[in-house]
Chain A
């Protein structure tokens, strides 16, 4: 059905795709698997006519496929559902679909066809509903139906399940299977190994812009696939060698008003953290995670006596004084909070490591020292970047996250608090970040991990507590804790994502 031969595409400084060849058969659900930055998006953008390849040929149905723009690609029978929807909230489903068509039929006829398609493929959707009232899954159905109305021969799905609940994902796969059975070829982009193993017929694995393998995903374990994706076997996480020591950090009766209308107030949060221990704090984002981290980092000051490090009261001190005392933090938002996007890595190293690493003396910046420190973070944490002069915004999410966490870990904190340390990060970088937190705890530091990813918390933490509407539950040991128990602890907090790495 579709064949790509020797496709290559370069951007300044990167070879996004290099000699990529693969084919998709009619009626096949074909997975395109790879880490963030492996070149999946560039490849499908070329198929959809958004980007032109530098070299190589594509054929569709035996015809040369060289779309000048997405309109030409659609005319050739290619349809694509993007990760981010392009729908007008105020309009109805039918109106949105009509807007995306070249020659929309009369509204009544269109509504009938929408209803027809949604019945045929088991995608329940009312054409008269307004987009604003729809869930993420229903919005995606609008995009899918918009594609199906074109009778595509090749349907491209870009990470479709990242916004779906498990039930919605099941429904989606049923639809895709129906579609495939009628002869449509489906190119399915994802890095979720389990769903690819259950639902895809074949997988092409990309790494650093090249095809590294093509296989039947059902014949391989998730671990094998991950190894192909990352290159080299995934190191199992090593939790050994840690012993809880003396109490390092004591937080008590920490109450903070909400910092803004969208913020969450903290309500008498209390916790103790021992040396060598990792405390996991779970909960759905927006329940006080950012506020708790700000109270720990010193960005928000709290009442005297609420935050004690080794018995010393830090509650009224700012971030710099807390860093000198040994309490370090890494906020969730990498670009704009943990790092200045336009600054080089060397300058971003200076952002938090000035005092502890002697990069600033009597107010004067020691630039060579800042550069050397940034280089040591880059080396120790395998940050893939040309060097410390690169701007933070030029790094991929995973590499910047390794840098931001590494910058704090190398400073040898007594206590490190991190928020969403692996959010939006590829599997290889996530494993490296998690291992570094475990290593830090083994060296005798206390670590607080705030995360939405329950598997991550179960993997890392010794004790677990739940943050819900600004209240922190009592901690329970993670050993022997089940997901059901955690669900109960979260006290009715819905939407907690259980990831399957």
Chain B
């Protein structure tokens, strides 16, 4: 008989090895799935994980890596801070959408003025929008004890309806021949979020993601607020004894992750997406949850995990094009990745032992 025995100490190596194991297991299980579906598993895995970087069309897909990774890393950095405190913001997708809308609203109001202030103002407005959307579950939890998990998740669907309303109503492009969707911000230089270095895909969102990684690393390891966040996650009573007010932490964590998600939404709508449509939200907010956990809630880990998940996005699309794999491939892969990660995580907290009869 096999049983699980709680570990008293987690070997540091295991913390690093389990995400790698999860990725390998995902490849294996994914390959098996493809084989059952009648595809060549080796070719499929190669198309998803190798070709985007080194394949024949790599020069087109490589810049996409940063484009996809930037919002994931930006959102996941904020989420990880809250997760460390045991505050579960599941609604980053909603905060992302609202940030895109409020940021775009600044641009659409200013149109067609020119000025250096417009883009920074949009970034601030995007962050403020995401922050405000994150504060709703924070305040409801602090005032009424409502679960931030449920409230933040529900607000995603509210945000999606608001995006649709904006795209069909107040923000609809007056010169758009009646098609839904706002003006294309890429064609409005003062508000556009262009590729900064040609051929890399790097836009301002990439810069913000790098800054977010550095800032959250500093917060969590050098600042007393980060210390309190870790303490609250590890031992809530001890944190309260140290002088941490749980309400303050809830507001801080949900506000911070909301602001970063909102900023990610703005960078996306002013750059790669270009306009507000009813499909502003493309799932970055949810995928970022996987990124945060795959990255062990550590800023550097999140950086790597964000790049990996971006790869599955691009590789999945590539596999759709070249091998006719179904579109759901990416989601299946991401789901499997989280599943295996949580499974292997068990090994960091427990060790396997043969049963001793007592």
Contacts and interface: CB of A to CB of B under 8 A. Distances in A.
Interface in A334-366: 336-343, 347, 350-352, 354, 360, 363-365
Nearest to A391: B9
Given A69-B357, A70-B358, A298-B243, A363 B224 contact: yes
Contact of A318 (B235, B239, B243): B243
B214 interface: no
A319 interface: yes
Contact of B242 (A333, A341, A352, A391): A352
A364 B224 CA distance: 6
B240 A299 contact: yes
Would you list the 9 A-B pairs with minimal beta carbon distance, nearest first? A320-B243, A319-B243, A340-B235, A351-B242, A337-B237, A340-B238, A360-B224, A336-B235, A342-B234
A329 B238 CA distance: 12
Interface core residue of B9, B239, B241 (most chain A CB under 10 Å): B241
A432 interface: no
Interface string A209-233: 0000000000000000000000000
A343 B231 CA distance: 8
Contacts of A391: 9
B223 interface: yes
Contacts of A343: 230-231, 234
Contact of A50 (B235, B243, B356): B356
Contacts of A318: 243, 245
A86 B356 CA distance: 16
A336 B227 CA distance: 15
A267 interface: no
Contacts of B357: 69-71
A371 B166 CA distance: 55
Nearest to A51: B356
B46 interface: no
Nearest to B218: A364
B3 interface: no
B223 A363 contact: yes
Interface string B1-25: 0000000110000000000000000
Interface in A306-336: 318-321, 323, 329, 331, 333, 336
Given A319-B241, A336-B235, 4 more contacts: A318-B243, A341-B235, A351-B238, A363-B225
A199 interface: no
A364 B223 CA distance: 5
A360 B226 CA distance: 12
Contacts of B241: 297, 299, 319, 329, 331, 337-338, 351-352
A69 B356 contact: yes
Q: By DSSP majority rule, is chain B's interface helix, strand, loop, or mixed?
A: helix
Interface string A59-87: 00000000001110000000000000010
Interface in B214-253: 222-225, 227, 230-231, 234-235, 237-243, 245
Contacts of B230: 343
B243 A365 contact: no
Given A299-B240, A320-B243, A365 B223 contact: yes
A471 interface: no
B358 A341 contact: no
Nearest to B242: A351
A393 interface: yes
Given A70-B357, A70-B358, A298-B243, A340 B224 contact: no
Nearest to B355: A69
A311 B39 CA distance: 80
A47 B227 CA distance: 45
B183 to A, nearest CB: 42
Interface residues of A, number: 36
Contacts of A50: 356, 358
B53 to A, nearest CB: 38
A337 to B, nearest CB: 5
Nearest to B237: A337
Nearest to B236: A336
A266 B356 CA distance: 48
Contacts of B223: 363-365
B222 A336 contact: no
A276 B86 CA distance: 42
Given A342-B234, A343-B234, A365 B240 contact: no
Contacts of A347: 227
A339 B242 CA distance: 9
Interface in A218-275: none
Contact of A354 (B222, B224, B240): B224
A319 B235 contact: no
Contacts of B235: 336-337, 339-342
A350 B227 contact: yes
Contacts of A323: 243
13 contacts: A50-B356, A86-B358, A319-B243, A336-B238, A339-B238, A340-B239, A347-B227, A351-B238, A354-B224, A363-B223, A364-B224, A365-B222, A365-B223
A306 B242 CA distance: 22
Contacts of A342: 234-235
Contacts of A336: 235, 237-238
A339 B225 CA distance: 17
B355 to A, nearest CB: 10
A338 B238 contact: yes
Nearest to B240: A299
A318 B227 CA distance: 18
Nearest to A360: B224
A305 B241 CA distance: 22
Contacts of B237: 333, 336-337
Given A318-B243, A336-B238, A337-B238, A364 B222 contact: yes
Contacts of B239: 340
Contacts of A70: 357-358
A365 B358 contact: no
A340 B228 CA distance: 11
A394 B8 CA distance: 8
A71 B234 CA distance: 39
Contacts of A319: 240-243
A28 to B, nearest CB: 28
A329 B240 CA distance: 13
A339 B235 CA distance: 8
Nearest to A366: B222
Nearest to B223: A363
Interface in A424-439: none
Contacts of A350: 224, 227
A134 to B, nearest CB: 22
B237 to A, nearest CB: 5
Given A71-B357, A363-B224, A365-B223, A341 B231 contact: no
Interface in A145-175: none
B238 to A, nearest CB: 5
